[in-house]
């Protein structure tokens, strides 16, 4: 959770996208996956896709060095394989090497500017580094390629909040709701914002929508927020 302007904003930016797009990972346990892709490499060692997929399994097991080795092997076979560059960025991010992760996502974008997830993860890395304007640029590119991806517009809104641009944040959260009307985070963030702005009617509306789309772990917090807004609303009416 990231705090901003005295409000607790629910943040999805810490979730990096561990994707192996264009691959087919069977619904097996990871040990079976390891055996599968090792066997593929044994039979066809010159296929970059097999090395990439084995690296992805290592990544999921947090075997960072093994994952890196396989992604680099894939790139030896095909230097223009954007997916393995992207996946190397995941490894760097997993190891906490943000500068390296940023460089690798930028490189993946240079290779294939139509691969959306590099923009998403670049946005996350920039956000983590406090480069909020750069994060906005990356998330905008991502939203342009995948406008209906859930929480794409939420992430933009959170960046705008960090820059104190509330109107743009509200617009982004509202755009999220155009694609996902029941999105818990968009309603929660709008509720928090409108409570801060003392627009209690709108705050209550969004909190109630958030409550109807929350799970048990969030419901209590939303109930408390609703109670707090009701008290503030009554106090303001009495004061008027």
Q: Does position 16 have pLDDT exceeding 90, yes or no? A: no
- Pairwise pLDDT comparison (236 vs 140), residue with the higher score: 140
Q: Which of 22, 137, 36 is nearest to 82 (CA)?
A: 22
At 27 the pLDDT is: 45
Expressed in angstroms, the distance from the first to the final Cα of the chain is 36
Residues of the chain above pLDDT 90, percent: 70
CA dist., res. 233 & res. 143, Å (int)? 36
- Pairwise pLDDT comparison (23 vs 231), residue with the higher score: 231
Find the radius of gyration of the CA atoms of the chain: 21
Contact 145, 113 (CB under 8 A): no
* pLDDT tens profile 59-110: 888 899 999 999 999 999 999 999 999 999 999 999 999 999 999 999 999 9
At 182 the pLDDT is: 95
Q: Which of 133, 131, 170, 138 is nearest to 154 (CA)?
A: 170
- Pairwise pLDDT comparison (140 vs 42), residue with the higher score: 140
CA dist., res. 90 & res. 19, Å (int)? 9
Contact 200, 240 (CB under 8 A): no
Model pTM? 0.83
Q: Does position 30 have pLDDT exceeding 80, yes or no? A: no
In sequence order, which residues have a C-beta less than 8 Å from that of residue 148 and are 6 or more positions away?
A: 179
The listed CATH number (1.10.260.40, 3.30.2130.30, 3.20.20.80, 1.25.40.10) that belongs to domain 2-181 = 1.25.40.10
4 φ, ψ to 5°?
-150, 130
Domain ranges of the chain: 2-181
Mean pLDDT, rounded, for 135-147: 95
CA dist., res. 211 & res. 198, Å (int)? 20
The number of helices, as runs of H, and strands, as runs of E, in the chain is 12, 2
């Amino acid at each position: 959770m990231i705090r901003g302007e005295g409000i607790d904003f629910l943040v999805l930016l810490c979730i990096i996208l561990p994707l192996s797009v264009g691959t087919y990972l069977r619904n097996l346990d990871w040990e079976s996956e390891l055996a599968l892709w090792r066997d593929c490499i044994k039979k066809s060692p010159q296929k970059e896709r097999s090395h990439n997929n084995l690296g992805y399994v290592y990544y999921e097991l947090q075997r960072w060095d093994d994952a890196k080795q396989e992604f680099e092997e894939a790139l030896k076979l095909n230097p223009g394989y954007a997916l393995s560059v992207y996946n190397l960025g995941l490894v760097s991010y997993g190891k906490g090497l943000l500068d390296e992760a940023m460089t690798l996502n930028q490189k993946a974008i240079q290779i294939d500017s139509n691969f959306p997830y590099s923009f998403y993860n670049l946005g996350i890395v920039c956000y983590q580094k406090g480069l909020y304007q750069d994060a906005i640029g990356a998330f905008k590119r991502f939203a342009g390629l995948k406008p209906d991806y859930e929480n794409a517009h939420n992430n933009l809104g959170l960046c705008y909040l960090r820059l104190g641009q509330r109107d743009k944040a509200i617009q982004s959260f509202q755009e999220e709701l155009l694609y996902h009307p029941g999105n818990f985070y968009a309603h929660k963030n709008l509720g928090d914002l409108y409570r801060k702005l003392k627009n209690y009617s709108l705050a209550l509306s969004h909190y109630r929508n958030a409550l109807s789309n929350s799970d048990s772990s969030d419901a209590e917090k939303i109930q408390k927020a609703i109670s707090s807004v009701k008290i503030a609303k009554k106090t303001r009416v009495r004061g008027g």
